[in-house]
Amino acid sequence: MRVPLERKVLNENDRIAGRLRERYKSHGTFCLNLISSPGSGKTALLERTLGLFEPARRVAVVTGDIQTDNDARRLARFGFPVRQITTGGACHLDAGMVERSLADWPEDFEILFVENVGNLVCPTSYDLGEEARAVLLSVTEGEDKPLKYPATFHHADVMVLNKIDLLPYVPFQVDLALENARRVQPGIEILQVSCTTGEGLDGWRAWIEAHL
């Protein structure tokens, strides 16, 4: 009975995701789903990203974690609307969680960032109605992550290689990581950034603006 139950759960998720997608489309909202393993730097990247926007921009964030609202409190200091989803054990966000989180929010956001729970497996299966997915890989991880978790990288529109300021101190082969990512997803866009030094963030910001 495991497979039929899983299909039922995913079918319901897809139905809600379709509703979210129509909502985003009707209000001109670009929704970006950020996925990575724990510690890759999603929250730090969002901090630097929010810091690049003028206060008048209609930007919002939904961030998911199994416990605590630490990430939401970190991001809220930039003055944009932020909601924390605490899953209580679930290793991913699903469309129902996102829909409930947005229930009483204005519907005219220009950009909605969804920071998924740190996990390179489960979040891949759950459509959140997003227009694009970004997967983060940090240089403190292995170059073979795209080969170990191919579904996540295959379904991503862009890979952000983060923490490049640490390259002089870690045995990470950038060319091999990029090659592995393109073996899984030949058309994936790849950006290299450092949230510590700011290197590459202009390119990340330009990528976002190009998708509005």
For residues 76 and 133, what is the distance between their CA atoms, to the nearest angstrom?
22
pLDDT of residue 4: 59
For residues 189 and 36, what is the distance between their CA atoms, to the nearest angstrom?
16
* Signed CA dihedral, 73, 198, 66, 189: sign only: positive
Is the pLDDT at 203 greater than 70, yes or no? yes
Q: How confident is the model at residue 10 (pLDDT cuts 50, 70, 90)?
A: confident
Residue type, 103: A
Residue type, 70: N
55-95 pLDDT per residue, tens:
999 999 999 999 999 999 999 999 999 999 999 989 999 99
Q: How confident is the model at residue 107 (pLDDT cuts 50, 70, 90)?
A: confident
pLDDT of residue 44: 98
Which residues, other chains included, contact 123 with Cβ-Cβ below 8 Å and sequence gap of 6+?
Answer: 33, 35, 91, 92, 93, 116, 117, 152
121-157 pLDDT per residue, tens:
999 999 999 999 999 999 999 999 999 999 999 999 9
163-179 pLDDT per residue, tens:
999 999 999 999 999 99
Parallel, antiparallel or unpaired: strands 82-86 and 189-192? unpaired
pLDDT of residue 8: 67
SS3 92: coil
Is the pLDDT at 38 greater than 70, yes or no? yes
Q: Phi/psi of residue 119, each to 5°?
A: 180, 135
Cβ atoms of 191 and 203 closer than 8 Å: yes
Is the pLDDT at 2 greater than 70, yes or no? no
Q: What is the pTM (predicted TM-score) of this model?
A: 0.94
Q: What domains are defined for the chain?
A: 2-210 (3.40.50.300)
